[in-house]
Each structure stands twice: as C-alpha cells, then as structure tokens.
Chains A and B, each alone.
Chain A
Amino acid sequence: MTASAASSLPLPADWRDFLSLTKPRVMSLVIFTGLCGLLAAPVRVDPILGFTAILCIAVGAGGSAALNQWWEADLDAKMKRTAGRPLPAGRMDRTVARDFGVGLSVASVLVMGLAVSWLAAAILAISIVYYAVVYTIWLKPRTPQNIVIGGGAGAFPPMIGWIAATGQISLMPVLLFAIIFFWTPPHFWALALFVETDYAAAGIPMMPVVAGHQSTRRQILIYAVLLLPLSLAPFWLHVAGWLYGAAALVLSALFLLLALRVAVFRGGAADGDMRPEKRLFGFSVFYLFALFAALVADRFLIG
C-alpha cells in the first residue's frame, strides 16, 4: 500500500481504546468482590490457581463489557457520559469490538475450566451470557426493571470466586449473590435519579423516566429494607462471625437511613440539588467494599 493510500484510511484503534472497552472501573469492583468470594471460602486456595480464577473473572467481565458496548454503540452516542467511548466516538470499528468481546469471553471460560474448575467456568459463562444477551440485548431496552435484572450479572463474581475455591455451590455463594442483587437497584436508581435526562435522551426505560421519581424513591427504600436482614443472614446462619455481623448491621442500618432520606426527599430535579441521592450513591459504593472486606477480615481474624 502506498503512503498516500494508507493516510486516507481511518486510524486504527489504540490499545487504550481496547482497554476502555472492558470498562476497567467496573472491573475493579468485579475483581474485588470475586477476590472476597475466593478468600472468604473456608478452604486454602493455591495462590496461582486463585490468581487465575480472579483473572478469568476479570477477563470475562471485560469481554461482556466489550459486547455491551458493541451492542449499545448507538445508545452511547446519545448520552454525554458515554459519547466519548471508542465506538460512538468513531475510534473503533464495531466488528472489532464484537470480536474482541467474544475472544475475551471464550478465553476466560476456557482457562477457568482447564485451570481451576469447570463448575466455576460454567457459572462464568452463564454470567457473561446473562449480561451480554439477557440484560444488554433483551431486557435493558424493554423494561424499567432492567436494573433489577442487570443486578444479577454484577452479583455473579463473588459466587464464582467462592465456587472456584471450593468446587461446589453451597448456601454462602448464593447469599453473596443475593446481597449484590438486592444492593444494585438502590445503587443504580440513586444514580439514575440525578442523571435522568441522559437516560431519557437515549430512550432507555430507566425507572425514574418510566415510573417517576416518587415510585423510584419508594422502591429504593424497599430494596434497602430487604438488604438489612439479607446482609445479616450469613451471621445468623453461622457461616460468618460476629465481626462480619457487626459490620453488616452498622453498614446496612446507615444504608437504610440514607435510603429513607431519599424516599422522603421532596426536592430534587426541580431545585437541581439531589444531595440525598448523590450521598446514597456514594455510600452504596463504600457499603459494598466495606461489607465484603468485613467478610474476608472475619474469615482471617475470627476464623
């Protein structure tokens, strides 16, 4: 190819574009919760196999995030928050993103199966299909309950971490799944309340857009109420000790208090404040990190 012909072609995507396709910030939460699931399991895990399991969970999450961005490129272009991503910004071809996502997903499942456990690999494969197909393609554009359903995808990592360590499904990984599942709606709906205009522009049926602010606030409170006993269940069922129990009680009570303020708050979009929603969103991120850190600390300090 001549230099003049080559210069007329669009520039290829940079390696940073491929990295951003995997949503590294979301991946950090996935790695953390997956690692906590692995470390909280009552067995000794070989460090190399443990590292491989976490790597596979992270790469699988990255693959499904790439598939999510491939499918939602047109929607992303309509939202300020996502318009700069590689696909809507035109820095990458859509088929490249799709192939990258499929490649990462298949590789993560195969390596997990060959190196760690085929049961963990099967759950990882289910989580990828759940996020990329059931959530992204099927339900996100169709129902305002999309966040509830999408919460399932984010809830898989600690479950996979635990199963990678123990090789079997028991009550505890199901509880870890349930905690993140019930944590997700208040976390994302708090965010959706103060970025509502963006979602409305893209035509995504987020709860505040479809059902209104009052209904969303009420539902945030319902999930926060359910999260309190659920987060305490590992302590009540004697699968976690008092350190975790105390942390879960304090954190969930604070979460409930902040959700209550959001539920009774009557200001919001009209006055452009949204402080209770922003506070709940910020605390919800801390809540999950602290709760899972307490679970691991409980396992190593209390036993």
Chain B
Amino acid sequence: MQLPPSPEEERQRIIRGRNRALALVLAGFAVLFFFITIAKMKH
C-alpha cells in the first residue's frame, strides 16, 4: 500500500510544478519577443 505524501513532499511537488510553469512562460516570452523583433524589422 502506498502512503499519502507528507506535507513537505506535497509542498515540494507544488513548488516544482510552479517553477516548471514559470519556466515555460518565460521561455515562451523569449521566443515571442524574438519573432516580434523579426516581424517589426520586416515592416
């Protein structure tokens, strides 16, 4: 039988999930700004 995660394990899981989401958003922002710059240079 699997034991339920301890509060500390749960906290670490939530923080890892938030960090991953933030990393994705920041990476998306960097890619978006790259393409915006290219698009603005064309006009």
Contacts and interface: CB of A to CB of B under 8 A. Distances in A.
Interface of A: 3, 6-7, 9, 11-15, 18, 46, 48-49, 52, 55, 115
A74 to B, nearest CB: 25
Interface in B1-43: 6-8, 10-11, 14-15, 17-18, 20-21, 32, 35-36, 38-40, 42-43
14 contacts: A9-B11, A11-B7, A11-B14, A12-B14, A13-B18, A14-B17, A15-B20, A18-B18, A46-B39, A46-B43, A48-B36, A49-B40, A52-B32, A115-B36
User: Majority SS of interface residues in chain B?
Assistant: helix
A115 B40 CA distance: 8
Interface of B: 6-8, 10-11, 14-15, 17-18, 20-21, 32, 35-36, 38-40, 42-43
Given A7-B6, A7-B7, A14-B14, A55 B32 contact: yes
Contacts of B32: 52, 55
A263 to B, nearest CB: 47
A14 B6 CA distance: 16
A12 B38 contact: no
Contacts of A6: 7-8, 11
A2 to B, nearest CB: 10
Contacts of B11: 6-7, 9, 11-12
Contact of A12 (B6, B18, B40, B42): B18
Contacts of B6: 7
